[in-house]
Structure 1
Amino acid sequence: MLANAARPALRRAAIAVVSRPAVGALTPAAGYATLREIEGRLKSIRNIEKITNTMKVVASTKLNRAMRAMTESKAFGETSNKVYEEAETKIPQEAKTLIVVASSDKGLCGGIHSALTKATRKKLLENPNADLVILGEKCKAQLQREKSQSIVLSFANVGKDIPTFTEAQAIADQIFQLPKQYDNIEVLFNSYLSPVSYDQKTIQTYSVDSFQESANFSAFEIDDEELPNLREFSLANAVYWALAEGHACEQSARRNAMDNASKNAGEMIQKFQILFNRTRQAVITGELVEIITGAAASEES
């Protein structure tokens, strides 16, 4: 009896829904298509979240190794630069300057390469006649369009693994084989400050003549024939330090970038899951209305 009593009310509600559809209401076909689309997007976002989480774990593992390499290379570089500091070596006026930009070939690490490119452009504004040696394809791609005339040498396949002193020494050998002689070689790289911050730093290396003209050069008992070897060794130490610390910054930035990407993917999954549930409920409600309407129409006939 209760069902018989409620049937007229259900019939009137069904007729009202059919005769006055809500604005933006989905037809059954459109509803099912929308559900399939939302389900496909959810699947894609979940796959992206798995990838970013995996890349975050990999970057965290590599960061520990990179930090150890950075500590070792920094000891080499600081000890080598201490010689020039104690000798009070200075850059001569109107010096020929070469800027070595320590970048890499890999991306997905936030704006770390863009910040290095911005610092390079700033240095070129201060010294427009300076030449560039670029380590890595990322900064090369960003600087080649507007500063191609300043690039005298570039290296690819940089940053694929932990940098070594052998790699830095090979780069220094190629730099010293350039036809132009430079009074000052600056190595520009990303300096590690904390797991979430970094800055751009420059290491100075000087020519043999600049070192000989230092105020305290007489305090060092170095044979003249050993001075070129000292300069090459200092540049190799500087490049090694720059590559190792830049690699640590890159791994830290990549871990942070993948962590943010995973969080964004999680938020998108929640939003699309709510949309999927609401759309599915709307489709079910529409099907129930059709069933009730059909039953009401069959009773009337």
Structure 2
Amino acid sequence: MFTRTVRPAVALARAAQQQQQQQGMATLRELEQRLKSVRNIEKITKSMKVVASTKLTRAEKAMREAKKYGAANNELFKHVPVEEAEPKEPKILYLAVSSDGGLCGGIHSSISRAIKREVASSPGRLAIIGDKPKAQLSRSLAKDIGISFSGVGKDVPTFGEASAIADEIMKKGGEWDEIRIVSNAYISALSYEAHTTAVISAQALREAAGFQQYEMEEDVSKDLAEFALANAIYTALVEGHAAEISARRTAMENASNNALDMIGSLQLQYNRGRQAVITNELIDIITGASAL
């Protein structure tokens, strides 16, 4: 009678233990899959960090060379201030300089925020380099976007690319008195910030008192304005490219560190779950041996 009474309870206990073991094994399989996935992600982000570190050396070298021309450009416009007898509101064209690439932190958001601040204080038309800032600015300033460019910044930008962009702006950018180029300034390998460079039109250059002091047989203001625009765009592209590579390296380093932390946490959970399954199996074996 005692054996017949106890047998159903033992069967139920064993069934409950088997169900717990199955659930434990399912959880262990899920943890194992997550561990494998996170390890793969860590390998990818680590490789991308190495690639970005290699590219950063080239980008910094190109930036140092380009900034020499940019400094000469700024010196020119600093000595030819526009002085109008009747001050009027200038027609402004904002040029947002970024790229199409992702996985580089807030490099594109920095440009978008700066453009929104500039437009809020002095309204104007927009020209955009890069699909990422275009997607961000299209949400609030779609009606102001006149021309956009993509496919720029995959490698170190060249003066030929900047000249082509300047030519398209001259042809299709509409009427403007001043172009304000908003790009990321490379401060160090760990920091960057958006800054604005102004380039005036050929008409505004001809009207500048400093420019009129020079005696010239023929008007060169148009060629000078086009070259200055291409030069400023080139400087902004190269410096922005260096800032983007630096930001991508930092982002990939942070992602790798986060993946390593997650791997440690998941490995601890996996070890605890595996230990619990083994303990349950040992209890089952010992209980069966005691019953025999």
Same fold (TM over 0.5): yes
Counterpart among 61, 64, 69 of residue 76 in structure 1: 69
Note if 1:95 corresponds to 2:70: no
- Identity across aligned pairs (percent)? 49
CA distance in 1, matches of 2:222, 2:48: 44
Aligned counterpart, 1:174: 168
Match of 2:52 among 52, 59, 66: 59
Q: What 5-or-longer segments of structure 2 have no aligned partner?
A: 1-9
- Cα distance, 1:272–1:222 mapped onto 2, change above 3 Å: farther
CA contact (8 A) 2:105 2:251 kept: yes
Residue 285 (1) aligns with residue 279 (2) = yes
- In the TM superposition, residue 127 of structure 1 has moved relative to its aligned partner by 1.6
With structure 1 as the length reference, what TM-score do the two structures score?
0.88
**Alpha-carbon distance, 1:88 to partner:** 2.8
Give the structure 2 partner of residue 6 of structure 1: none
Mapped partners of 2:216, 2:249: distance in 1: 46
| Alpha-carbon distance, 1:181 to partner | 1.9
One-letter code aligned to 1:189:
S
Distance in 2 between residues matched to 1:42 and 1:136, nearest whole Å: 36
Structure 1 residue 179: Cα displacement: 6.4
Q: Is the 8 A contact 1:106 1:138 kept in 2?
A: yes
Once the two structures are superposed, residues 280-299 of structure 1 have per-residue CA deviations (whole angstroms, 9 ceiling, x without a partner) of 0000000000001111111x
Q: 1:164 aligned to 2:158?
A: yes
Structure 1 residues 279 and 138: alpha-carbon distance in aligned structure 2, compared to 1, 3 A threshold: same
TM-superposed CA distance for 1:223, in Å, is 4.7
Among candidates 142, 145, 153, match of residue 148 of structure 1: 142
Verify the 8 A CA contact 2:70 2:231 in the aligned structure 1. yes
Q: Describe the shift of the 1:223–1:98 C-alpha distance in structure 2 as closer, same or farther (beyond 3 A).
A: farther
Match of 1:116 in 2: 111
Between the two proteins, the alignment pairs up a number of residues equal to 278
More displaced 10-residue stretch of structure 1: 189-198 or 228-237:
189-198
The CA distance in 2 between the partners of 1:137 and 1:58, in whole Å, is: 22
Alignment partner of 2:42 out of 37, 49, 61? 49
Q: CA deviation at 1:77?
A: 1.5
In 1, are the aligned partners of 2:97 and 2:240 still within 8 Å (CA)? yes
Asked if the contact 2:205–2:225 (Cα under 8 Å) also holds between the matched residues in 1, the reply is no
1:27 maps to what in 2?
A: 20
Q: Deviations over 1:128-175 (max 9, x none)?
A: 2x0000000000001112211101100111211110000000000000
Instruction: Give matches, 1:258-269, under 5 Å.
Output: 258-269=252-263
Q: Distance in 2 between matches of 1:283 and 1:54?
A: 36
What TM-score do you get using the length of structure 2 for normalisation? 0.90
Distance in structure 2 (CA, Å) of the matches to 1:122 and 1:215: 31
Deviations 1:192-214 (A, max 9, x none): 11111111111111122322232
Q: Does 1:105 align with 2:100?
A: yes
Q: Tell me how far apart the structure 1 counterparts of residues 83 and 45 of structure 2 sit (CA, whole Å).
A: 47
Looking at structure 2, the residues matched to 232 and 49 of structure 1 have their Cα atoms a distance apart, in angstroms, of 47
Superposition RMSD on alpha carbons, in Å?
2.0
Query: What is the aligned partner in structure 1 of residue 265 from structure 2?
Result: 271
**Residues 81, 234 of structure 1: 8 Å contact kept:** no
CA shift in 2, pair 1:152/1:286, >3 Å = same
Residue 177 to residue 142, structure 1, CA distance change in 2 (3 Å): same
2:200 counterpart letter in structure 1: Y
Q: Distance in 2 between matches of 1:168 and 1:255?
A: 25
The answer to whether the Cα contact below 8 Å between 1:70 and 1:248 also exists between their aligned partners in 2 is: yes
Look up the match of 2:245.
Answer: 251
